[in-house]
Structure formats: C-alpha cells, structure tokens
Structure 1
C-alpha cells in the first residue's frame, strides 16, 4: 500500500508543483519523433514503450526496428529524479548518436520490463514474466504499421539478458541481436557452483525491487503510467520477497527457481544472427555468463572478447579497441536491411592478457586442447575461514616449472582434485596466476566450488585468453575464499588436498596479432600478489606445457 499512497500523492501535486520547474531527463534526439504507448505482454500485463521514429520520414514509411527492453528506461532513483525530470531516458544515446540510426532509417523502441518504469506487473528477475515481455516487445515492434517486420535488439547487462530470453523463446520478427555483457543463466549472477558472490550480490535483487516500487516522472507521465504500475503491487507483491530470498539462499542450481532462469540451453538453439561482446574481467554479470549460449550456438554469430570489465563494446577507451559500433551497424544493415556484410578476417576479435588483439575463426579456437596442457596440484591443506583474497596469497600453492618458451591457452581451465573435509559444504576457491622470475604473481582467472562431501571435485574456472612468456610459470592457489569476488559461508575447518591436476586448453599453433588496439583499462586493476621464493621452490610440481608450432 505504500507504493499506492505515494503514487496517488505524487499524482495530485504533480501538475501544480512540478510542471513549471521541470528538467529534461534526456533530450529527444533531434532527428527523431518521440511518442509513448502501451501494449500487452503474453499474460495481459501492460508494458510501457518509448517509440522513436525518424523525424524526416513520411507516415507511410516502414522502418527496420531496434528494440531494447529492461529495467533502465524509466525515470526513478536509478535513472533520474521522478519529481523534476521530463522526457525519455536515453540509456543508449551513444548507440543512437554514434550509429546515426535515424539517419540510417531505423526506428527505435525501448520498453520497460514488467514492474519497471511505466509498465504493470511485478519484476520477475529473469523469470517467465520477463521472458514473456521480451517476446511481446519484439512481436509488437514487428507488427506495427511503421515497421518492416524485421527487428534487431540492442542491450548490455540486464537488457542483454532480455535478449537472451528472446533468443530462447523465438519471437516472430527477431532478425538480429547485439548482446553485450549479458546473462544467460540467472544462477550465475548469484552463485558459482554453490559459492555465493561478494556482499553486493546479496543486496542486488532487493535493489531491483526498490526500482520497481518507485513512481514514474511526475512531470510529463500520462495517467496510464501511474495506473499500470499499481497492478503489480496489488496483484503480485510476493516478488519483493521471493527474489531476494532465493538469490541469497538457493545455492543449488537445480532448484526450480533457477531452472526457470537457465535459458542458455534454449537460446543456444536459436538461429538469429548475434553480435556478442563480453569481458573476461566482468565482476558484474561474470566472465562466463555468455559461454553456454555462445558455445555451440546454432545461428550466425560474431564476438568481441577480451580483458575489459562490465562495459559496452563501443566504449573504446575502456575496451582498448575502436570500431565496435561500426561493425554492429554494418551487422544490422545486413541482417535487417539486406545490405552486403563487409568482409572480416575472422568471426572473433579477441584481446589476450597482454592487451594484444587478433582474430580467430572461433573461440575457444579449434586447436585449443586439454590433451596438450596440464599442471600437477600437489597435496596440501588450507583452512576454510574466508580470510584469503586474490592479493593475499594465503592457502595451498602449486607451481609449474618456469617455461622455456611461450605458451598460450584459450578457453576455460579445469580444476580436478581429490579433497578430504571434516564437514559438508566447505568452500574451495581456485586462483590461477602468471608468476614471473621475481615471484610477482598476476591473477589470470579464478573459480569456486562448494564441497558437499569428501572425494573428487571437478569444476571450470572462468574463460581466459592468456600467453605465458619464457621464464614465467603458472601458480594455482587453493583456499577457502577470494573476498574480492566471493562471500561464502565459512565452515572454519581444515580442507586437505590429496592431489590432482589443472587441465589447460593449450593452443597448438603460434598466433600473431593482426588487429590494432591496446590493453583494456580493467587490466590495470587485476589482482597481484608476491610469493616467497622458498614457497615457489618447495611447491613446484610437474607440468605439461609444450611449445607451440608455426603454421606451414
């Protein structure tokens, strides 16, 4: 009832108090006409949309449509001040302006997912409701009289998650998608193999509930923008409790709550062309939250992958390379308008751990093989006390001998160890480092696993593309935590490693850079620790790290 009373009170005073002092949330693009409308989702929930059409067009013109859908297009505490601001929220103004989409003849539609902005319903945090909304948004845009019937999608983070929802549910009219820093499995934004992510991720679902509860703009919102959001609070208030509770306690990915949000298996079957961008240092949606859809995807796809964190592919200063926006506009022009697609040297543009760019036909590359590379994990012990982080280096180390030649891996390293525990649900965090001659260890990748019982534990680390230079060695640190990334519940008990291996997807062939570009900004913040030379000497095991070959 709090939301209802707030909305009614705000609505009563809006016209008398705020109209004269209104500020613009964002300016409507100069070459576009903006209107607002509502349409039904699959279960009758009313969804709010901002529609932008080229200003110089005729009423009879039909346009290919770019659609974005998510929680970020309404005026609220996340996106402005609902008490004073008027106008649309142009979340993707960089795409609109830099891509010159209205000049190119595109229409643009941004839709509030249920519960957010001016839409009805209660937020479903990746569940069936939001999946319905993604389908409805595409099919509505494809069916309008000003539409050619071909729809592309654009988004990053949550509104990239909604794109994966659309891929999984195959809406009519979806012809292309640009998916940046997405989520393809809701479980993976809260847990990794049963281990909860750090403290902020306990609060995130409740924050989205808070965004849902905030009113729309009191300056220029039509009555429907107040009425429809009330329906979610009245008819389905349970969402404000369910999503925070499940995201904080349901550590088993087999729970029905998470199964409803595991959409990669269906999305992978889509044949809609997709342009991807994802960073191997993304602490927000996580470095692996695209891979289950990307790997084995049935349709045409192209990817930009590298060392950045949670940023857009076109943020060239942060990514380390320009031209993403040029490539994505050419991608849309081809799949939505039928123009020729410019030739590219490879389907993947990837940035390695040194910030060097190259192309690949696929990623992981075809010659990446676990049969080629491995390192021993020596017996050892650590205490599951949540005290370690990636810059502390506390736990059980194993190192490879220094390599005499460059070694490159691309893909997901796999930890396979035997463990002994005194109690169930002990935490195992694995941190893989590149260690130089001076003992300076730079984090390469990480992963975690909740040990239910003693025995063999096998799990993947995050994907990475890395080159190990001569004189360097790999180091694997096993411990109870990395507090920079995880926030597990410690058991306070010892965990014994009786031995094992780390399998590495080593490349057979030498690579050379064939693209311009440089390091991502996030590479400056990768954790580094220093290891005592005596520990390195005492904890060096065996490894198989063969020399790469030159292509004939």
Structure 2
C-alpha cells in the first residue's frame, strides 16, 4: 500500500449518514490509450474516502431486476427490505454492492464496465490478460482521485470475484484489501472443465445471454437504462461484422483448449502472489461453479491476513443480506479506514454447517477444521453397501453409461454424524470403450427413504458432486495431498477396452450433518445427475465434447479383494457409522 498523500484517513463518520453524489460514465484511461467508463457513487462531502470497486462484463447500468428477473424475485422473497430501510434499490446491479448501503457510511463505490462491454469500447475478451491489466489501471486511477484516500478494496460476486483473484496477483500498489464472494479461482477446473468434462452451461447460456447481449455497440441489446431509456451498452451501433470482429469466439476458445495449458494458466491466478488482506466467501451449495475456488483461494493466497466464510443458500442471496453486508463493512473499515473494530481478532474460518433440521454455525482455526479425521467407506458391489471394512471378495457392479448408474449406501447412522471438508474416491474401473466419463454424486436419504433436496447456490443440489474423464486420470503429485486429489489435465491417456484402471476422483468439498437414521449414498453414473422432475443448470451436454460413442459404453466398478474401491470422507468428531 502506498504511503503518499492519498492514503490519509477518511473523515470521521458523521452523526448523520453522508448524502450520495452519483457520477455516470466517468472516463477511466488505461495504459494502451483506451478509455473505459465507470459509475462513481461518493459521499457529498469534502475529504478522502476509502474506495470499494468492481469491474466486469455485465453492464454497470443494467438494473438487477431488468437483467435477472427470476433471481431478483427470489432475493426479494428472502429479503423484502432490499429496497427499503436506507436504499431505494435504484442502483442495484447484478452481483455488485448497493451504493445506497455503502456511501452513507463513508465509502466510495466504483463500478467499471470491462473493455468491450456496456459503455466501454474495445475488444470483448472476458478474463483475458488485457482485461486484468485494465483492472490494475482502474485501481490506480481510483487511488489518484481527489475523493479517494488511496486505499482500494475489491468486492463482488462471481465474475466480479474471479477478476479480483487475477488482478491481486499483479499487486497494484494501492490495492489494500479484497473480498471475492463466490468466485472461482481455477478457470479450467472450477468453471469450464469439471474433471476434464466440458461444462456446457457457459457455452449455451452465459456467453450469448449475459455477455453478447451487453457487448458495446450491440444495437439489438434488449437492455435499457431505467429513466433515460438509453441502451446500457452505449449509443454507438456497430454492424454484425464489426461486433464479431470486436470480440473473441468464446465457445471456440473453450472447445479448442480442452486440456490445461498456458492459455488457461494465463487466465488463472498464481495465488502465492496475492499479499493483501483477504476475506473469501464461498457457498457450500455451489458445486460446479464457485465453492472450490473460494476454498483454494483462501488456502493458496500468500496473504498474512486472510479469512474464509462458507455459507449456504442461493448464489446471489447472502451477499445482500444485512448480516453479511455488516461483515463486509467491518472487514473494509479495518483495512481501508484503519478502524480498530476487532476484525483482526475474528476466527479465521466461519462455517455454516448444513443440517436437515436447521443449519448450524461454528468457527475453526483453519480449513479443513483441525479436528477433522479422514475416514474410508469401502464400496461393496455385492450388497451395495458403504462400510468401514473392505469386502474380502472381489466383485463387480456394471451399468450402462447413460443409465441411472449404480449406488452404494451406508447403513442408517446410529447417531448424528457430520462430514465437513474435502472428499475424494479411490475407484477401480473399466469401460467397454476407450474412454469413460464418471459422475460421482453424494446424496442423503432420511429414515423413510426420502432423498434430501438441497436449495443449492444455482439449482436443486445433492450433498456434493464430483467428475472425472478417466483419460485425464493422471494426478499432479505436487498438488495432491492426503486431504484431496489434484489432476494434471495436461494429457489424454485413452483406455484399453475392458482393462481395469485404478483412479482417484475429486468430489467437491462439503458439509452435512446426517441425523440419526439417515443414510449417505454414493451414486456413480456416466451422465449428469438430476432430480426427477427438476431440470439441472450446471450440465455437461455439449455435443462437441460429450457426443462421441466412447462415452456410451458399459462401465464397471470393482470392489473388494485386491481392488478395494472406497470413498474418503471428512468426519467430524465423533463419527459413527
């Protein structure tokens, strides 16, 4: 953090909240001569104030409700005072802070349209190195403004969290703290290729509906500013040819780079380079999107001062709830304003523990919690069981890849049993073809045999999910450890049909209390798991990736004897089967 004149403390908080000044489309010059556009919300008072920023592709002038009506309605149902008690909701934007909740407390809120999106011209290339360089430049621009105290914080969900991890590795001199809320870290593993299998949602939904619709100069954009009726992506109207020339071919990029490579690594942060104070907030229900990244980011960041909070509920929900906004403000008040508010004494890890009877809360010194014990639950193809002892006899469970697969169940738990932390599976498998996609699902069933359907971050969710394309089975030995496995995803090793292979499957971290009488079930299949009658959103159905006969074979799971397959679960004391 710079020690120049811009780092003066903000004026003391007044007896009455600050009134707000709104400046729209403020010019933000960047290093290659392009000018981005930003909205600035600041106190109507003299002085220098801490700045909280976000930069992204979703359009700084698109109202949350206009762009994401279904999610807005769900948020209002949970938090009916979202547009009340201090906020009109006029400036609410998807996945960014509500200025009317922050400016009265003496913060400046800056929201920047990324290059090629909204009101910012240029080449639209989400998450590219150039976009992150622009973010660096925008942070340093904000630090120089007369209303800034030179201490810049970053805050936002999803895209607005992902870019935080990236720009922090560039170490902007005036970046003083960051709060990535439900935002992935590893672009390949966390987002687009789960276990090496292409996640089709980004190609089918995110790119056309959330990016191209707000591309700068797209005259066909359906989105308008409230009040003025102006397009939220600028007054310039570009031809289809110019629009295409002004953007990357995102879908082709993803399909072309099917293995982890330099292309992905230059879009993924080197976490050890992050040194600023960090408050990482993840969602247990975010398997397939953001959960893994918030945990990996917390563990890998080089920051001396770092905290992890793991919550439940919808992806966009917690960020706006008063108790979480209060946490965000305490964090930033401490590191951007220098308030001695006790944040530095907060437990480093805060966990919502999911329980079908009502969620619980506890803290820990680290993640996974120090009292966690990794326990093996062995699969038995004869009984369909999961138990502490490995079957003495080898057996095989077979299933057609596109069927509902095979399931293995614990006996009903004799008392309440909690699992919190990393999960993995060691499996012996074969396929009748030369490749195999494995979808691993952790499920919970009550004493009546009714399955628990969790209100996940993005969709109805089981306890957790894992994936592996078996031709990607090679591990990265340097990054794998006793708690979890890490696949290299840098080469393809096809299978010999019907030959047996020993593999490790990463299942995303989870927390769940299984009440007495509940059972844990592991389901293995060759397609996406979906609850009956509930369509999934995070799916793997792109024909360019999954539309080959090699993923339609007969798969086999071997158990017992010399081929003992098992599930590795993080048991909290006491763990009882």
TM superposition score category, shorter chain reference: 0.7 to 0.9
Match 2:399 to one of 382, 393, 398: 382
Shift of residue 382 of structure 1? Answer: 1.6
Match 1:451 to one of 470, 491, 502: 470
User: What does the per-residue CA deviation read over 1:299-329, in whole Å, with 9 as the maximum and x for residues that have no partner?
Assistant: 222232133231243444xxxxx51111211
Shift of residue 470 of structure 1? Answer: 2.7
User: What does the per-residue CA deviation read over 1:207-264, in whole Å, with 9 as the maximum and x for residues that have no partner?
Assistant: 3133214359695989x9556x979985982634x21222345432x1443222222x
Whether 2:450 is the aligned partner of 1:440: answer yes
Q: Is the 8 A contact 2:351 2:361 kept in 1?
A: yes
Match of 2:510 in 1: 464
Equivalent residue of 2:150, what SS? strand
Q: Is the 8 A contact 2:63 2:92 kept in 1?
A: no
Give me the whole-angstrom Cα distance separating, in 1, the residues matched to 2:239 and 2:56.
18
Match of 2:432 in 1: 422
Match of 2:56 in 1: 70
User: What does the per-residue CA deviation read over 1:462-489, in whole Å, with 9 as the maximum and x for residues that have no partner?
Assistant: 2111122333332111111125342242
Equivalent residue of 2:132, what SS? helix
Provide the aligned C-alpha RMSD in A: 3.3
Match 1:397 to one of 398, 404, 407: 407
Q: How many residues are aligned here?
A: 457
Match 2:572 to one of 502, 507, 510: 507
Equivalent residue of 2:143, what SS? helix
Cα distance change, pair 473–235 in 1 and its aligned pair in 2 (3 A)? closer
Q: Is the 8 A contact 2:25 2:119 kept in 1?
A: no
Give me the whole-angstrom Cα distance separating, in 2, the residues matched to 1:232 and 1:350.
48
User: What does the per-residue CA deviation read over 1:17-64, in whole Å, with 9 as the maximum and x for residues that have no partner?
Assistant: xxxxxxxxxxxx952242432223343332111122211x12xx2221
Give me the whole-angstrom Cα distance separating, in 2, the residues matched to 1:374 and 1:121.
54
Shift of residue 192 of structure 1? Answer: 0.2
Which aligned pairs between 1:14-413 and structure 2 lie closer than 5 A? 31-55=20-44, 57-58=45-46, 61-75=47-61, 90-91=92-93, 95-96=97-98, 99=101, 101-187=102-188, 188-199=190-201, 201-207=203-209, 208-213=211-216, 214=218, 226=235, 237=245, 239-240=247-248, 242-248=249-255, 250-252=257-259, 254-263=260-269, 266-282=270-286, 285-299=289-303, 300-316=305-321, 323-342=323-342, 346-354=347-355, 355-370=359-374, 372-376=375-379, 378=381, 379-385=396-402, 387=403, 394-413=404-423
Shift of residue 281 of structure 1? Answer: 1.5
Q: Is the 8 A contact 2:425 2:566 kept in 1?
A: yes
User: What does the per-residue CA deviation read over 1:262-297, in whole Å, with 9 as the maximum and x for residues that have no partner?
Assistant: 22xx13431211222221213673432322212232
Cα distance change, pair 47–199 in 1 and its aligned pair in 2 (3 A)? closer
Q: Is the 8 A contact 2:27 2:38 kept in 1?
A: yes
Q: Is the 8 A contact 2:400 2:552 kept in 1?
A: yes
Give me the whole-angstrom Cα distance separating, in 2, the residues matched to 1:342 and 1:423.
59
Q: Is the 8 A contact 2:468 2:506 kept in 1?
A: no
Cα distance change, pair 104–302 in 1 and its aligned pair in 2 (3 A)? same
Calculate the TM-score normalised by the size of structure 2.
Answer: 0.71
Equivalent residue of 2:161, what SS? helix
Match of 1:541 in 2: none
Name stretches of at least 5 consecutive residues in structure 1 with no aligned partner.
1-28, 82-86, 317-321, 388-393, 511-544, 548-552
Equivalent residue of 1:131, what SS? helix
Calculate the TM-score normalised by the size of structure 1.
Answer: 0.74
Give me the whole-angstrom Cα distance separating, in 2, the residues matched to 1:232 and 1:46.
23
Q: Is the 8 A contact 2:39 2:60 kept in 1?
A: no
Q: Is the 8 A contact 2:183 2:293 kept in 1?
A: yes
Q: Is the 8 A contact 1:397 1:476 kept in 2?
A: yes
Give me the whole-angstrom Cα distance separating, in 2, the residues matched to 1:92 and 1:77.
7
Match of 2:556 in 1: 496
